[in-house]
Structure 1
């Protein structure tokens, strides 16, 4: 019976590389405190021996588990799913795993709940979605706990090592300018929930485009939802009963835009001949509904993947991309305004 060769240990790597065990540990843990030559020498020995670090031992040494937390208070399930997919893309082939934690941003226990989550799971890092990411106390808490963090934002919230951001205001301004170019002058807005920076930035982009064209947004042309289909359905009813009726609606996300499209169909309003609708996100629903939805493609999956990379390699986080540009996607839900 063949005798199994003993698995190489960290002591073997240190002896052959001619360095201390602590230096090997620093290489394994991606410490920035090493010069390139030492790192490459140790990595070569690890590869030659086929040494595989013990994740439990590493977690014990770091006083952290190899877990990345996703913290959110987001009513849109598709957004959360896309974020998870992006983060898992980055984690393939690593020893990191994802833990998802929904929270209530309005709870007086918000920060204590997040503290308990980070401490109980011994998280290596956390990625937090809006609007929780807009809470400065959250960032301070992570720094206090020594937990790596990345915030998602529709505007600049932090330094590049701790942020992935999109250009929501500019993207919406361009989308509404496109509607104006089609001859639309009565453009309504179905906004996202109050307290969300994304909703604010998108509303401001719309208002800036209207102002530049000498147009206004009447009170009857503004309604608010909470990023769900149901809220979009309810809010669109008021917008489409207004007199004069809008010829176009910019909706702050695709789920609500689908609700608005449903209302238009019920009221016998043809989209896009009588009403143009533009959404935001470019989630799968945008291409699957009829007519397919003109929308702003929000690179949410790419942002989440980048955020996870920043958390996995925090020593390189500042060097990685923080800014992600949205893209306008024209489909069949928009057309020139009826004369």
Structure 2
């Protein structure tokens, strides 16, 4: 029936102060609930004039489809999950903001699931999360993304996923590559260009593939320029501020300290700053420091930290965009987010 005849019914609905339901839309527009659902989900099986009539009504009454309710009707939700196990809070926040950038304006929402990949039951926990929420797909963030058993489980239950990792681990359409090895190599080349030869490395935890890639890229770049890094100049830490402090104490409080340190992330670099300040070591006059991530922390430290930018927000945006592409149609190729060095004030040539 014409919408103008429904003016009183619409006014009555609005006066109640309650949100309109899909049943209200179907009744007022004179179509079936199934037709309304098809319009909401952009089905091509609806005539143009019917679609325009129903969409006009939805705008008039302020009807917004509920993502979870839509999913239940179609045996799936319009929810994208993000599974992560990462000790760096800023990294996780930037990744979430990137995913939200991609989902904004779409029908999808983001739900997050922190986990402990060292727990023997964590994969079962992720499985329950996926099945209870009826997720459309999952973004796997390092270090969870590096666990093949987790990827295999998602494949088995038929859940789409995108893996973020420092090198290819899966089908190209399911990967976002961050090229951590290249970023670390650029940091090494920069320190060498300044004239540093006694260089130390504070790595991330060995359980993280990113730590292996950054370590390998840094050591390989030094080797290519004829510099071998002694074992005593390599300290494993945990990607946290506290672990950076502990590692820096081993390197800076002895008799022979390095002239430069590369850390596997900015949090650990901040720990080096603290130890240097306590020991009266001037940055960058007596000690040059390069971090990794180029988090907001890098520009807030004093002197500001030279760091490898890896565009975490862009990474999250790309991963989410890959998931909401229709399956089998215009599938996105393997994506790359290239790191590059941001030079600030924490480095200079070594003293004679």
RMSD: 2.8
TM-score normalized by the length of structure 2: 0.84
Give 1:241 deviation, angstroms: 2.9
CA pair 204-48 structure 1, distance change in 2 beyond 3 A: farther
Q: Distance in 2 between matches of 1:179 and 1:233?
A: 21
- Answering whether residue 148 of structure 2 is matched by residue 143 of structure 1, we say no
**Deviation readout 1:96-133 (Å, 9 max, x if unpaired):** 22221111111111211111111122212111111211
Partner of 2:207: 195
Partner of 1:3: 8
Q: Distance in 1 between matches of 2:330 and 2:258?
A: 46
Q: Distance in 2 between matches of 1:284 and 1:43?
A: 49
Give 1:322 deviation, angstroms: 1.1
Partner of 1:165: 177
**Deviation readout 1:57-92 (Å, 9 max, x if unpaired):** 531232122221111111111111111111122222
**Deviation readout 1:123-159 (Å, 9 max, x if unpaired):** 1211111121111121121122221211110111122
Q: Distance in 2 between matches of 1:309 and 1:261?
A: 38
Partner of 1:18: none
Partner of 2:348: 335
**Deviation readout 1:165-204 (Å, 9 max, x if unpaired):** 1111011101111100100001100000111011000000
Give 1:53 deviation, angstroms: 7.8
Partner of 1:235: 247
Q: Mean Cα displacement is larger for which, 251-260 or 168-177? A: 168-177
CA pair 232-13 structure 1, distance change in 2 beyond 3 A: farther
Contact 2:69 2:77 in 1 (8 A): no
Partner of 1:297: 309
**Structure 2, unaligned stretches of length 5 or more?**
1-5, 14-23
- Answering whether residue 226 of structure 2 is matched by residue 221 of structure 1, we say no
Q: Mean Cα displacement is larger for which, 317-326 or 261-270? A: 317-326
Give 1:244 deviation, angstroms: 2.6
Q: Which structure has the greater CA radius of gyration?
A: 2
Contact 1:229 1:259 in 2 (8 A): yes
Contact 1:221 1:242 in 2 (8 A): no
Match of 1:112 among 119, 124, 132: 124
Partner of 1:319: 332
Contact 1:311 1:317 in 2 (8 A): no
**Deviation readout 1:198-220 (Å, 9 max, x if unpaired):** 10000001111110111111122
Q: Distance in 1 between matches of 2:103 and 2:317?
A: 8
Q: Distance in 2 between matches of 1:143 and 1:317?
A: 21
CA pair 79-254 structure 1, distance change in 2 beyond 3 A: same
Give 1:222 deviation, angstroms: 0.9
**Deviation readout 1:256-295 (Å, 9 max, x if unpaired):** 0011011111111111111100000011100001000000
TM-score normalized by the length of structure 1: 0.87
CA pair 30-338 structure 1, distance change in 2 beyond 3 A: farther
